[in-house]
A and B are shown apart, each in its own frame.
Chain A
Amino acid sequence: MKNIIGRKAGMTTVFTADGRAVPATVIVAGPCTVVQRKTVDSDGYEAVALGFGDVKESRLTKAMKGLFKGAGVEPKRHIREFRADIEGAEVGQTITVEAFEPGDLVDVVGTSKGHGFSGGIKRWNFVGGGRSHGSMIHRQPGSGGDTNAGHTVRGSHRPGHFGVDRVTHQNLEVIRADTERNVLLVRGPVPGARNGLVLVSAAVRPPKQPRNAAKAEK
C-alpha cells in the first residue's frame, strides 16, 4: 500500500547518480498506523484511515479515544483517509516510507500557502493596466462582463480569498526513501508551507509514455 502522511520539511538540491543537480522536497513521512478500515458494508465505501504523529491521550475527545481503543492502536494526532491502493491493509499495521522506492511516481496533496484576500493579478494572473503615462488603471480587475446580461457571470475571475486550498500535485518522482530517518525525497516542489501536512500516495494517473524516454534514447 503506497499511502502515507507526512510533513513538508523544505526543499534542497540533490545530485542524481549521473551527476545532475535536481530540486527536491524533503518530506518527513510516517510511521503511520492504520487506524480504521472502512468497507462498503460498514460505511458504504472502501477506505483506509491512517494516523500520523503522536498525541497525548488527554488531548483527545471521548469519541477519538473510543476509536483508538477499539482499533487497539496508539492515539495519533492526524487521521486521513485514503481510498486508492488499499488492498491488504489491516488495522494496527504500520506503514513507513519503506513502501516507496526511488523512481516511483506519486501524487502529493497539500494545503496551499495562504495569500489572504488577493486581487486579480496575484490570484488569476491578470495583466493589469499601465503603471504610468496617465493610465489610471493599475491593478484593477477590468470588466465584469457583458452588461446586457444584467448580472456578472457566475464563476468569473474576481479578487477574493486566495490560497489555503487542497492542492494535488500529480506524478512526482520519488528520489529517495530513507527508512532510517523516515524521510521521503520527492523531485520538485510540493504544495504548502513548511511543516504543512502532506499526503503522499501512488500516482493515480501516471503518464502513458515514461518521462525522459526520449532523453534516455539519446
Chain B
Amino acid sequence: MNVIDLVERDQLKESLPDVRTGDTVKVYSRVVEGGKERTQMFEGVVTARRGGGTNETLTVRRVSHGVGVEKSFLMHSPRLERIEIMKRGAVRRSRLYYLSEKIGKAARIKEKKATP
C-alpha cells in the first residue's frame, strides 16, 4: 500500500452512509460562528459525489428563496456530523449538473422504487 493511502487511512471515517447521486439528503455540519460552534443543516439533492480518500466530497443542491445554492462538503471532515438520506432518487447520470439549468417542475427527480 502506498504511503499516501496509509496516511489518509487514519483520517477516514469508518463508515459513511451510502449516499448516491440523486438522493435527497440532510447534511448536518458544524460551523463556527462568532466563537461559538453550532450544527447547521442543509437539505437538498445530491448532484455529485467526487474524489477519493480524504478528499471525497458531496455536492448538495437546493433552491433557497428562489436562488439555487450548491454546497460541497468534504465527506471525511470532522466538521461534517452526519448525513440523513430522506429519499432515494432514480437518476441515470453520476453528476446532475443539468439541474442548474432547470427550474421548478423540470428540476424534479423521480424517486427510486424500493427494491424488494
> Interface of A with B (CB < 8 Å)?
9-15, 19, 21, 26, 28, 178, 181, 183, 185, 218
A interface SS class: strand
> Interface of B with A (CB < 8 Å)?
2-4, 6-8, 11, 30, 35, 53-55, 74, 76-79
If A19-B30, A19-B79 touch, does A12 touch B54 (CB 8 Å cutoff)?
yes
Q: Are B7 and A178 neighbours in the complex by a CB distance under 8 Å?
A: yes
The distance in angstroms between the C-alpha atoms of A171 and B48, with both chains bound, is 37
The distance in angstroms between the C-alpha atoms of A175 and B40, with both chains bound, is 28
Of A9, A10, A11, A15, the most chain B CB neighbours within 10 A belong to A15
- Which residue of B4, B35, B77 is within 8 Å of A26 (Cβ)? B4
B81 to chain A, nearest CB (A): 11
A-B contacts, 14 of them at CB < 8 A, read A9-B3, A10-B4, A12-B7, A12-B54, A13-B53, A13-B55, A14-B11, A15-B11, A15-B78, A19-B30, A21-B54, A21-B74, A181-B6, A183-B3
B37 to chain A, nearest CB (A): 9
Q: Are A185 and B7 neighbours in the complex by a CB distance under 8 Å?
A: yes
User: Which chain A residue shows the least CB distance to B30?
Assistant: A19
If A13-B54, A14-B54 touch, does A19 touch B3 (CB 8 Å cutoff)?
no
